[in-house]
């Protein structure tokens, strides 16, 4: 370790020092919200459930590591189990933390479902909640089981967070052509934003993101039907599935080095079929129009151009532009058009690039990260945590191809999203927009830097492409001269 640190340049030493200080701040900050005196029988049940799930994951992980011929496999096993125990302890200690989303929305929805029959719950699903029916199925089941609703929601989020880290490792081991690394997957559970998701927030971002990553993975391995199946399930949970769509659309068009397409147009029908999971309430008399318009109702729920999201539109909040006004609609339409133009331009650029050079798997991961980041950065009416998919793809990118720029992209997106998440710990029960606080300004600056790095890397693709063509033309010219001689 000492030799490794000594070999690092001064710039990297400063960077690692800053990361260590941020991690220390994270630990101190998050533990300040833990009530160690609130242990109850419900917490015991929650702990047993978490332990059971982690034990299954640990069993596969220990078995896999034990089969290695590495002399350090005992150390890896100890470290692997230690990380999982740390995750377990942290999840238990934060089990009674009530987020603003639970206090205002999720908890009240579950209470409403408790007083209704199962068919009545399905029939009134769009009037009780503004989330998609498929997520509400979990809430209805929780209500009918009569368990602690806060712990149950966090347990569901934890299950899908575990699925998320597994799907992340699936992409990494395929891109790197290595073996599945359970230890690295366990480390992902300690990533700040993922950790906050299952321990404090208890939201559904890990759910749709896990399915988005699985859709991307199966596209990489050319399992077209499975890819569209998972993107359809992601669509059924959250409209933010759109952040993964551009790269999947490109993979419908381009070919790999063998000349085979990643995805097939004939399998496209599977995605909307999976969305039909949201139509189950039709059998109990629910309105089809209400079920179809759930995403539109979500979009119109907030009247700000940026709902505490460190993106381009938050700049307009300084002018106090109110929803429904003429400037509000003008800016919203313009930013949507700008985003669409950028997406189309990027798609055209990447497709043209694929015809002139082979795009490897790490290139596709980079482009997926760029798309998911840019859409959130420029689109209006984005929420604080919509960078979640971009942060996950950034981690995959840094682990798949750990170049300097990729590592910076990953770290900066993660830190920016973490600081925006931190804002809601200041006032968990008041849904307000924390505009131009130091944390928000810091997050916005970091995201602008990320955008700059991405643009620089995209330009490098063009330069490397030109150099490749120049060298090929030079070789052809030299060959022709030899033939003449």
Measured CA to CA, the distance from residue 166 to residue 171 in angstroms comes to: 9
Query: To the nearest whole number, what is the mean pLDDT of the chain?
Result: 84
Residue 367 and residue 353 in contact, taking contact as beta carbons nearer than 8 Å? no
Spatial CA neighbour of 194 closest among 174, 168, 219: 168
Residue for token pair 């990953």: 410
**What's the whole-model pTM score?**
0.88
Measured CA to CA, the distance from residue 347 to residue 394 in angstroms comes to: 19
Which stretch of DSSP H or E encloses residue 122?
A: helix 118-123
Q: Each residue of 422-435: b (16+ CB within 10 Å) or e? A: bbbbeebeeeebbb
Residue for token pair 């993975």: 217
- What's the mean pLDDT in 126-144? 90
Specify the number of domains making up the chain: 1
Helix (H, G, I), strand (E, B) or coil at 307: strand
Measured CA to CA, the distance from residue 196 to residue 190 in angstroms comes to: 9
Residue 179 resides in a domain: no
pLDDT at 409 (0 to 100): 94
Residue 366 resides in a domain: yes
- What's the mean pLDDT in 469-473? 43
Residue 389 resides in a domain: yes
Residue 176 resides in a domain: no
Q: Is the pLDDT of residue 240 over 90?
A: no
Residue 388 resides in a domain: yes
- Give the lowest-confidence range in 95-109, 162-176, 457-471: 457-471
Measured CA to CA, the distance from residue 424 to residue 460 in angstroms comes to: 38
Measured CA to CA, the distance from residue 199 to residue 201 in angstroms comes to: 6
pLDDT at 265 (0 to 100): 92
- Give the lowest-confidence range in 50-54, 249-253, 350-354, 380-384: 380-384
Q: What is the residue range of 370's domain? A: 302-479
- What's the mean pLDDT in 208-229? 95
Task: Name the CA radius of gyration of the chain, rounded.
Answer: 24
Measured CA to CA, the distance from residue 229 to residue 120 in angstroms comes to: 29
Token pair listed for 230: 């998972």
pLDDT at 437 (0 to 100): 73
Residue 462 resides in a domain: yes
Residue 382 pairs in a beta bridge with 306
Token pair listed for 200: 């404090």
Token pair listed for 52: 């059971």
Helices marked H in 189-301: 192-196, 205-220, 224-237, 245-253, 270-275, 288-292, 294-299
Q: What is the largest CA-CA distance in the chain?
A: 92
Residue 202 and residue 100 in contact, taking contact as beta carbons nearer than 8 Å? no
The H helix count followed by the E strand count for the chain is: 23, 2
Spatial CA neighbour of 230 closest among 282, 159, 281, 160: 160
The confidence band for 32, taking pLDDT boundaries of 50, 70 and 90, is low
Residue 175 and residue 220 in contact, taking contact as beta carbons nearer than 8 Å? yes
Residue 96 resides in a domain: no
pLDDT at 298 (0 to 100): 62
From the CB of residue 102, how many other CB atoms can be counted at a distance below 10 Å?
22
Residue 261 pairs in a beta bridge with 255
Residue 265 resides in a domain: no
Which one has a higher pLDDT value, 367 or 314?
367
From the CB of residue 351, how many other CB atoms can be counted at a distance below 10 Å?
14
Helix (H, G, I), strand (E, B) or coil at 97: coil
DSSP string, 61-80: HHHHHHT---TTHHHHHHHH
The confidence band for 476, taking pLDDT boundaries of 50, 70 and 90, is very low
């Amino acid at each position: 370790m000492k030799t490794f640190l000594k070999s690092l340049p001064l710039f990297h030493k400063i960077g690692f020092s800053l990361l260590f200080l941020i991690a220390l701040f994270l630990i101190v900050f998050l533990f300040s919200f833990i009530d160690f005196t609130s242990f109850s029988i419900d917490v015991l049940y929650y702990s047993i459930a978490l332990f059971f799930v982690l034990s299954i994951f640990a069993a596969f992980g220990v078995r896999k590591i034990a089969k290695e011929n590495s002399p350090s496999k005992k150390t890896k096993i100890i470290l692997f189990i230690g990380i999982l125990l740390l995750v377990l302890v942290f999840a238990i200690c934060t089990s009674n933390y009530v987020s603003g989303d639970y206090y205002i929305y999720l908890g009240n929805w579950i209470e409403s479902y408790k007083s209704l029959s199962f068919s009545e719950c399905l029939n009134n699903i769009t009037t009780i909640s503004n989330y998609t029916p498929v997520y509400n199925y979990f809430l209805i089941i929780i209500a009918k089981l009569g368990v602690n609703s806060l712990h149950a929601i966090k347990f569901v989020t934890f299950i899908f967070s575990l699925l998320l880290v597994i799907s992340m490792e699936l992409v990494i081991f395929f891109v790197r052509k290595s073996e599945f690394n359970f230890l690295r997957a366990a480390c992902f559970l300690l990533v700040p934003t993922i950790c906050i998701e299952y321990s404090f927030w208890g939201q559904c971002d890990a759910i749709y993101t896990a399915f988005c990553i699985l859709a991307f993975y199966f596209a990489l391995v050319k399992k077209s039907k499975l890819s569209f199946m998972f993107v359809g399930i992601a669509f059924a949970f959250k409209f933010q599935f759109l952040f993964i769509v551009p790269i999947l659309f490109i993979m419908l068009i381009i070919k790999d080095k063998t000349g085979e397409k990643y995805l097939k147009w004939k399998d496209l029908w599977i995605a909307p079929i999976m969305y039909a999971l949201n139509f189950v309430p039709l059998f109990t008399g629910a309105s089809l129009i209400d079920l179809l318009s759930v995403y539109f109702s979500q979009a119109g729920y907030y009247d700000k151009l940026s709902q505490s999201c460190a993106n381009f539109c938050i700049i307009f909040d300084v002018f106090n532009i109110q929803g429904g006004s003429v400037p509000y609609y003008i800016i919203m339409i313009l930013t949507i058009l700008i985003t669409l133009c950028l997406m189309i331009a990027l798609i055209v650029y990447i497709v043209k690039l694929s015809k002139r050079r082979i795009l490897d798997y790490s290139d596709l991961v980079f482009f997926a990260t760029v798309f998911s980041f840019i859409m959130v950065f420029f689109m209006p009416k984005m929420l604080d945590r919509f960078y979640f998919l971009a942060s996950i793809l950034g981690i995959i990118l840094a682990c798949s191809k750990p170049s300097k720029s990729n590592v910076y992209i990953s770290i900066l997106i993660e830190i920016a999203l973490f600081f925006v998440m931190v804002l809601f710990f200041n006032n968990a029960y008041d849904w307000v927009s924390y505009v131009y606080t130091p944390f928000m300004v810091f997050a916005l600056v970091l995201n602008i830097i990320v955008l700059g790095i991405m643009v620089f890397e995209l330009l490098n693709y063009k330069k490397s492409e030109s150099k490749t063509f120049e060298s090929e033309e030079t070789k052809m010219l030299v060959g022709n001269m030899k033939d003449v001689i």
